[in-house]
A and B are shown apart, each in its own frame.
Chain A
């Protein structure tokens, strides 16, 4: 569905994207994850024909993004960071003219608009002026506009930025439902870790315009961080004996012992049994699974949360209701 080779974009003195090569198969749900300014949106803007690459090539839905722009545009849906619907327009009018823009007949466009209004829960607000809608409603309208021509490939640029957690969850449900129903290929950018984690089957981590990791969330975590078993003891002596007893790489701090290992939850019963047999009393036990932030931290030495902090708080300020 997407095939890029050394895709590169330089703006004057900013090297936004530095040679991205990736392949996305039909039906995949891919999240581009990275801090602000990593090059996610620029990559997306090249793939959607909005800006030409400085170097490299990209084929999207079978067509070249530079030489065959119209063919690409006809086959993709794009939901940008802003609001697609004009603020002085009515939602349903915008849906219909969007359909006409993709070459649907007026009657088809009206029918599609009505279907999408229903399935995205916009029935009550579709005939109101867009500027009077709440942020969550506008975002669902944007999604509806991106789907009017039933594209096989959908791009979403930061779809849930600025939405409150409830609206975010709601939006994610809509996206997943869409995928389940139509097998649409979906590429989205996000700096919300939980979003990438819970939605995408494949996460491409981008930093400084380059791909630094590309795998399923589970494998990324297993490969780069691993699970962690934390054992707590009442006495340091017990912790020391336990550390000697367990034949695995671990670290000990005072009364706690940490073991980093893949598939931790399956190993815990055995470890506890061994320690019981050895007569070391364990006071507490916790299994923590790594987050994608831990992956990013391992890969770059920086936390995504720090980088995204400004935007997170901006999002909180603009909490919106449906």
Chain B
């Protein structure tokens, strides 16, 4: 008998299939993070006792997740416009599965991109801590599950107004990214900026990734990062399943 898990599996594998058929698509949403990696990283000041990449690369991995996953709602938006979303709404698939399956699929390109970024950076002196990095990717996966769900919610809300989706996505993307200290540390910034960054859940995820990739597993940042990721994950799934249940 089909249940929520098998329904989610059907949606998940349907979403994943075009990517498996054409793995090169994984690289498309990575272009911007790779540009930052190539053109921004060399500008970083030299730090004592290691490469600046130790600080910068975990941030780029989160950035790659942020870019790819926040855009993913546009795929649903397109399917709303062409009619395949409507077709799936008439199948017996449970509404939450239509959302969860899609959001879960977002984890796959994020992990593939993280592996690719690490592989690219290894020859330049980046030395990730394996156990920490794996735990970091688990936290990142939870975060991107929630972010993907939010992106799909935005698509469902925007429905036939594509501009609305892109306006909201672009308006939120860069403030979130800069306030999380992804490119430059916010610690030395003015007080208001620092305060704002403390309200950004992404900040805690980035901090946790940095500590974890450097082997600092038993740190408070791991806990706060995990809490932030779980918070975004739960919020995303709650908002997303509500939006999907109301979709017609």
Partner-B contacts on A (CB < 8 A): 45, 48-51, 70, 73-74, 76, 78, 80-90, 93-94, 97-98, 100-103, 142, 145
Q: How far is the CA of A142 from the CA of B93 in the complex (A)?
A: 18
Q: How far is the CA of A97 from the CA of B84 in the complex (A)?
A: 12
* Range for the number of chain B residues in contact with chain A: 20 to 34
Q: Which residues of B are found within 8 Å of A98, using beta-carbon distances?
A: 87, 91
Q: How far is the CA of A142 from the CA of B88 in the complex (A)?
A: 12
Assuming A93-B17, A97-B10, A97-B14, is B91 touching A102 (CB within 8 A)?
Answer: yes
Q: How far is the CA of A87 from the CA of B81 in the complex (A)?
A: 11
Q: Mask for B6-21, Cβ within 8 A of A = 1, else 0?
A: 0100100110011001
Inter-subunit contact A82/B86 (CB<8 Å): yes
Closest chain B residue, CB of each to CB of A45: B248
Shortest distance in angstroms between A125's beta carbon and chain B's nearest beta carbon? Answer: 15
Q: Is B89 engaged at the interface, CB distance under 8 Å to the other chain?
A: yes
Inter-subunit contact B84/A101 (CB<8 Å): no
Assuming A97-B14, A101-B10, is B21 touching A90 (CB within 8 A)?
Answer: yes
Closest chain A residue, CB of each to CB of B79: A86
Closest chain A residue, CB of each to CB of B93: A101
- Would you mind naming 12 contact pairs between A and B with Cβ atoms under 8 Å apart? A50-B90, A73-B90, A78-B90, A83-B82, A83-B84, A84-B84, A86-B14, A89-B14, A98-B91, A100-B10, A101-B7, A142-B87
Q: Is B123 engaged at the interface, CB distance under 8 Å to the other chain?
A: no
Shortest distance in angstroms between A267's beta carbon and chain B's nearest beta carbon? Answer: 49
Q: How far is the CA of A30 from the CA of B87 in the complex (A)?
A: 21
Which of A70, A85, A89, A97 makes the CB contact (< 8 A) with B92? Answer: A70
Q: Which residues of A are found within 8 Å of B86, using beta-carbon distances?
A: 50, 80, 82, 84
**Best-surrounded residue of B13, B79, B88, B90 (most CB of chain A within 10 A):** B90
Q: How far is the CA of A49 from the CA of B93 in the complex (A)?
A: 13
Other A-B contacts than A48-B90, A78-B90, 8 sampled, CB-CB below 8 A, are: A82-B87, A87-B84, A90-B21, A93-B21, A97-B10, A97-B17, A98-B91, A100-B13
Q: Which residues of A are found within 8 Å of B89, using beta-carbon distances?
A: 50
Q: How far is the CA of A93 from the CA of B21 in the complex (A)?
A: 10
Assuming A89-B18, A97-B14, A102-B92, is B83 touching A84 (CB within 8 A)?
Answer: yes
Q: How far is the CA of A101 from the CA of B88 in the complex (A)?
A: 8
Closest chain B residue, CB of each to CB of A99: B10
Inter-subunit contact B92/A73 (CB<8 Å): yes
Inter-subunit contact B83/A83 (CB<8 Å): yes
Closest chain B residue, CB of each to CB of A78: B90
Shortest distance in angstroms between B188's beta carbon and chain A's nearest beta carbon? Answer: 44
Closest chain B residue, CB of each to CB of A146: B87
Shortest distance in angstroms between A106's beta carbon and chain B's nearest beta carbon? Answer: 10
Q: How far is the CA of A102 from the CA of B1 in the complex (A)?
A: 10
Q: How far is the CA of A242 from the CA of B83 in the complex (A)?
A: 59
Inter-subunit contact B91/A49 (CB<8 Å): no
Inter-subunit contact A103/B92 (CB<8 Å): yes
Q: How far is the CA of A102 from the CA of B92 in the complex (A)?
A: 6
Q: How far is the CA of A49 from the CA of B87 in the complex (A)?
A: 11
Q: Is B78 engaged at the interface, CB distance under 8 Å to the other chain?
A: yes
Shortest distance in angstroms between A9's beta carbon and chain B's nearest beta carbon? Answer: 11
Q: Which residues of B are found within 8 Å of A84, using beta-carbon distances?
A: 83-84, 86-87
Q: Is B49 engaged at the interface, CB distance under 8 Å to the other chain?
A: no
Residues B229-248 near A (CB distance < 8 A): 248
Q: Which residues of B are found within 8 Å of A145, using beta-carbon distances?
A: 87
Inter-subunit contact A87/B78 (CB<8 Å): yes
Q: How far is the CA of A86 from the CA of B82 in the complex (A)?
A: 8
Assuming A88-B18, A101-B10, is B92 touching A82 (CB within 8 A)?
Answer: no
Q: How far is the CA of A123 from the CA of B86 in the complex (A)?
A: 25
Q: Is B2 engaged at the interface, CB distance under 8 Å to the other chain?
A: yes
Assuming A45-B248, A51-B248, A103-B2, is B17 touching A80 (CB within 8 A)?
Answer: no
Shortest distance in angstroms between A42's beta carbon and chain B's nearest beta carbon? Answer: 11
Q: Which residues of B are found within 8 Å of A78, using beta-carbon distances?
A: 87, 90
Closest chain B residue, CB of each to CB of A76: B90
9 interchain residue pairs of minimum CB distance = A82-B83, A84-B87, A101-B91, A97-B14, A78-B90, A73-B92, A88-B18, A100-B10, A86-B84
Closest chain A residue, CB of each to CB of B17: A93
Which of A50, A83, A102 makes the CB contact (< 8 A) with B248? Answer: A50
Q: Which residues of B are found within 8 Å of A73, using beta-carbon distances?
A: 90-92
Q: How far is the CA of A142 from the CA of B83 in the complex (A)?
A: 10
**Best-surrounded residue of B1, B83, B84, B91 (most CB of chain A within 10 A):** B91
Q: Which residues of B are found within 8 Å of A83, using beta-carbon distances?
A: 82-84
Shortest distance in angstroms between B42's beta carbon and chain A's nearest beta carbon? Answer: 36
**Best-surrounded residue of B75, B83, B89, B92 (most CB of chain A within 10 A):** B92
